[in-house]
């Protein structure tokens, strides 16, 4: 039995080593041709999300911009966001916010306008309003109940306190 256990461990270790030994480019072939690989969540339900960037080891330090477009072809760049600091050397991520529902595409570029990364796609899908308002009114109901409860009890308690002290005065 111990021999078989050892065999299983060896095989699994071997598998693990081969897994790690694969070049990173083999894991995501689409990003290999760019100096940076950009990552983003597929869906955001709140309209804000974090973009992550990783640089290939040989990339020199440079300022970066994130381009935003509503189509994958980037035929019309709606807006550019400056990456904080000296690009990936300082910060690996950027938090963008305030997007409306729909498809949003992002990619990195440098000051000269050269495209430096793959295109990432984030689908912003805000919660339906009925769901939000449902929770809102559920919360409101419980809250009003609590406030009424506290005020009513506070009044009763102060009244009994007053009558108690009055009673004490009479005695």
Site for other proteins in 111-170 (CB under 8 A): 126-129, 131-133, 135-136, 138-140, 142-143, 145-147, 149-151, 153-154, 156-158, 161
**Of the ranges 3-11, 13-21, 23-31, 76-84, which one interacts with other proteins (CB under 8 A)?**
76-84
Cβ distance to other proteins smaller for residue 8 or 133? 133
CA 163 to CA 171: how far, in whole Å? 12
Could you list the residues that contact other proteins (CB under 8 A)?
45-48, 50, 63, 66, 79, 81-86, 90-100, 126-129, 131-133, 135-136, 138-140, 142-143, 145-147, 149-151, 153-154, 156-158, 161
């Amino acid at each position: 039995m111990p021999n078989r256990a050892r065999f299983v461990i060896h095989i699994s270790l071997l598998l693990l080593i081969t897994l790690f030994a694969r070049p990173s480019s083999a894991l995501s072939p689409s990003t290999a041709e760019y100096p940076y690989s950009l990552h983003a969540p597929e869906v955001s339900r709140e309209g804000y999300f974090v973009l992550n960037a990783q640089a290939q080891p040989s990339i020199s330090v440079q300022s970066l911009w994130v381009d935003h477009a509503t189509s994958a072809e980037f035929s019309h760049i709606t807006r550019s966001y400056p990456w904080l600091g000296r690009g990936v050397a300082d910060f690996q991520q950027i938090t963008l916010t305030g997007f409306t529902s729909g498809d949003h595409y992002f990619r990195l570029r440098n000051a000269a306008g050269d495209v430096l990364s793959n295109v990432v796609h984030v689908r912003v899908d805000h919660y339906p309003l009925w769901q939000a308002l449902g929770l809102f009114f559920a919360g409101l109901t419980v809250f009003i109940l609590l406030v009424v409860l506290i005020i009513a009890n506070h009044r009763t308690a102060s009244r009994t306190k007053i009558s108690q002290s009055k009673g004490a005065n009479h005695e």
